[in-house]
A = this chain, B = another copy of it.
């Protein structure tokens, strides 16, 4: 009888890659570091993913498919009673839940923030082509709620808001809670403050 690993080789690679990409960046984390952390053989990456670039895309796909679905689901649910706060909540809460529920989910928000900070053409194209519709739908929802703003003014504020959200949510994966506070409480507070702050900025 031999060990039955809890996660498949493929899943272990994705998990280790996620963690190392968050910590050292896509260029900074080598495949050797990834396979070593995942406790799999170096050759396994190329067998399962073909190349490092494909591995990077898979790291995103694994989380973003579901995250996008849940964000749009929630946006649809609150359509009748949409406020700036409820729309922001529809965007933020699924990310918060991901960061709390899933092993590695919290780390992923940092990977996502890196992808935005990197102006890597290839990566941005991949994300925009596959998940750009989510941001578009949310932008439309905000436009409806802020009819007093002209198109240009709205553009500016959403740009700033997206930056603030991306940056703040990256910290879902950083431990900086005060003693006595649980991870969950800390992040829920963060989400609450983030909604409050951003809504005020948008309707300023």
Contact = CB atoms under 8 A, between A and B. Distances in A.
A25 interface: yes
Interface string A135-151: 00000000000000000
Interface of A: 22-28, 110, 113-114, 116-120, 153, 156-157, 159-161, 163-164, 166-168, 170-171, 174, 189-190, 193-194, 196-204
A27 B197 CA distance: 34
Nearest to A197: B201
A79 B118 CA distance: 37
A199 B160 CA distance: 13
Nearest to A169: B163
Contact of A201 (B24, B118, B159, B198): B198
B117 A113 contact: yes
A193 B201 CA distance: 10
B163 A159 contact: no
Query: When A and B form their complex, which 7 residue pairs have the shortest distance between CB atoms, in order from nearest?
Result: A163-B167, A200-B204, A27-B28, A164-B164, A117-B117, A197-B201, A201-B201
B160 A117 contact: no
A28 B161 CA distance: 28
Given A25-B25, A119-B174, A167-B167, 16 more contacts: A23-B119, A27-B27, A110-B119, A117-B117, A117-B167, A117-B170, A157-B193, A159-B168, A160-B198, A163-B163, A163-B164, A163-B167, A164-B164, A196-B204, A197-B201, A200-B203
B160 A25 contact: no
